[in-house]
Amino acid sequence: MIKYLKIKFGAHPESDKLTLETTPVTIFVGPNNSGKSKLLTEIQRFCIQGKTDSTFNLIEDISFVELNKEQVDEEIKKHTLAPNSDENVHQGTILFGKGDSKDHLPKNAPERFLSSPNKNKHEFCRHYLYRNTLKLDAVNRILLIKSQPLGDMQKGALNSLAVLFRDDVKRLEVRRIVFDAFNLYFVLDPTNVGQLRIRLSKSEPSNYLEERGLHKEAVDFHSQALEITSASDGVKAFTGIITSIIAGNPKVTILDEPEAFLHPALSSKLGKEIASAAKIEHNRLFVSTHSANFLMGCIQSGAPINVVRLTYSNEVGTARLLDKDKIKTLMRDPLLRSTGVLNALFYKHVIVTVGDSDRVFYQEINERLLEFSPENGINDCLFINAVGKNTIWKIVKPLREMGIPAVGIYDIDILNNEGSNWTNALKSSFVPDISHQPYGQTRSLIKNKFSELKIDMKKDGGINALPRSEKEASENLFNQLEEYGLFTVRTGEVEHWLQSLGVKAHKSVWLPQMFEKMGADPNDSNFIKPSKGDVWEFIGQINTWMSDETKKGIPK
Q: How far is CA 528 from CA 85, 262, 282, 499, 520, in A?
A: 79, 39, 59, 13, 9
- Say which DSSP state 262 is in: -
Tell me what percent of the chain is helix, strand and coil, each rounded to the nearest 5. 45, 15, 35
Over residues 328-352, the mean pLDDT reads: 88
Query: What is the C-alpha to C-alpha distance for residues 323 and 260, in angstroms, rounded to an integer?
Result: 26
- Say which DSSP state 108 is in: T
User: pLDDT band at 323, cuts 50/70/90?
Assistant: confident
Angle in degrees, 0-180, between the axes of helices 420-428 and 392-401, rounded to the nearest 10: 30
Provide CB contacts within 8 A for 45, sequence distance 6+: 56
Contact between 191 and 219 under an 8 Å Cβ cutoff? The reply is: yes
Least confident range from 139-148, 418-427, 496-505: namely: 139-148
Predicted TM-score (pTM) of the model is: 0.89
Over residues 532-552, the mean pLDDT reads: 95
Longest dimension (CA), the chain: 101
Choose from 41-50, 76-85, 133-142, 149-158 the range with maximum mean pLDDT: 41-50
Contact between 30 and 11 under an 8 Å Cβ cutoff? The reply is: no
Final residue before a domain boundary, out of 288, 303, 322: 322
Query: What is the C-alpha to C-alpha distance for residues 289 and 256, in angstroms, rounded to an integer?
Result: 7
553 located within any domain: no
Same domain, 173 and 129: no
Contact between 132 and 249 under an 8 Å Cβ cutoff? The reply is: yes
| Strand arrangement, sheet containing 349-353 | 381-385, 349-353, 406-410, 486-488
Tell me the residue type at 503: V
Over residues 444-465, the mean pLDDT reads: 95
Query: What is the C-alpha to C-alpha distance for residues 448 and 536, in angstroms, rounded to an integer?
Result: 30
- Say which DSSP state 302 is in: T
Does position 293 have pLDDT exceeding 80, yes or no? Answer: yes
Distance in angstroms between the alpha carbons of the first and the last residue of the chain: 31
User: pLDDT band at 4, cuts 50/70/90?
Assistant: very high
In tens, the pLDDT along 239-267 reads: 999 998 888 778 899 999 999 889 999 99
Between 337 and 524, where is the model more confident?
524
Least confident range from 147-156, 167-176, 197-206, 305-314: namely: 147-156
Q: 93 is in which domain, residue-wise? A: 69-115
What pLDDT does 196 receive?
96
Over residues 499-521, the mean pLDDT reads: 93
The CATH number of whichever domain residue 127 belongs to comes to 3.40.50
Provide CB contacts within 8 A for 323, sequence distance 6+: 401, 402
- Please state, as a whole number, how many other Cβ atoms lie within 10 Å of the Cβ of residue 437: 10
431 located within any domain: yes
3-state secondary structure of 9: coil
17 located within any domain: yes
Report phi then psi at 379, rounded to 5: -75, 150
What pLDDT does 248 receive?
73
Provide CB contacts within 8 A for 278, sequence distance 6+: 24, 25, 245, 253, 284, 285, 303
554 located within any domain: no
Ranges of H-type helices in 67-159: 69-79, 109-115, 121-127, 140-143
Q: Exposure of 199 by Cβ count < 10 A (0-12 exposed, 13-18 middle, 19+ buried)?
A: buried
187 sits in which H/E element? strand 185-189
Least confident range from 154-158, 350-354, 443-447, 548-552: namely: 154-158
Final residue before a domain boundary, out of 322, 347, 373: 322
What pLDDT does 516 receive?
96
556 located within any domain: no
Between 2 and 260, where is the model more confident?
2
Same domain, 165 and 222: yes
Number of domains forming the structure of the chain:
4
Does position 20 have pLDDT exceeding 90, yes or no? Answer: yes
Same domain, 245 and 301: no
Between 304 and 282, where is the model more confident?
304
What pLDDT does 395 receive?
94
55 located within any domain: yes
User: How many helical (H) and strand (E) elements, i.e. helices and strands, does the chain have?
Assistant: 21, 20
Same domain, 499 and 407: yes
Query: What is the C-alpha to C-alpha distance for residues 492 and 415, in angstroms, rounded to an integer?
Result: 11
Same domain, 120 and 9: yes
552 located within any domain: no
What pLDDT does 356 receive?
94
Identify the CA nearest to 200 among candidates 220, 229, 172. 229
Query: What is the C-alpha to C-alpha distance for residues 39 and 62, in angstroms, rounded to an integer?
Result: 12
Same domain, 368 and 274: no
Query: What is the C-alpha to C-alpha distance for residues 81 and 101, in angstroms, rounded to an integer?
Result: 10
Does position 100 have pLDDT exceeding 80, yes or no? Answer: no
Same domain, 314 and 338: no
185 located within any domain: yes
Mean of all residue pLDDT scores within the chain: 93
- Rounded-to-10 torsion of CA 11, 12, 16, 21: 10
Q: Taking the CA atoms of 436, 440, 442 and 443 in sequence, report the sign of the dihedral they define.
A: positive
Per-residue burial over 214-243, b if 16 or more Cβ lie within 10 Å, else e, is: eeeebeebbeebeebeebeebbbbbbbbbb
Least confident range from 82-86, 201-205, 356-360: namely: 82-86
Provide CB contacts within 8 A for 434, sequence distance 6+: none
Same domain, 429 and 533: yes
Does position 303 have pLDDT exceeding 90, yes or no? Answer: no
Does position 349 have pLDDT exceeding 90, yes or no? Answer: yes
Over residues 318-322, the mean pLDDT reads: 94
Contact between 370 and 377 under an 8 Å Cβ cutoff? The reply is: yes
Final residue before a domain boundary, out of 211, 229, 249: 249
Same domain, 51 and 74: no
Q: How far is CA 363 from CA 41, 381, 555, in A?
A: 35, 9, 26
What pLDDT does 353 receive?
97
Q: Is 27 left (phi over 0), alpha (psi -120 to 50) or beta?
A: beta
3-state secondary structure of 169: helix
Same domain, 464 and 526: yes
Query: What is the C-alpha to C-alpha distance for residues 292 and 307, in angstroms, rounded to an integer?
Result: 12
Same domain, 501 and 416: yes
Does position 480 have pLDDT exceeding 80, yes or no? Answer: yes
What pLDDT does 324 receive?
80
Same domain, 125 and 202: no
Provide CB contacts within 8 A for 23, sequence distance 6+: 303, 304, 305, 306
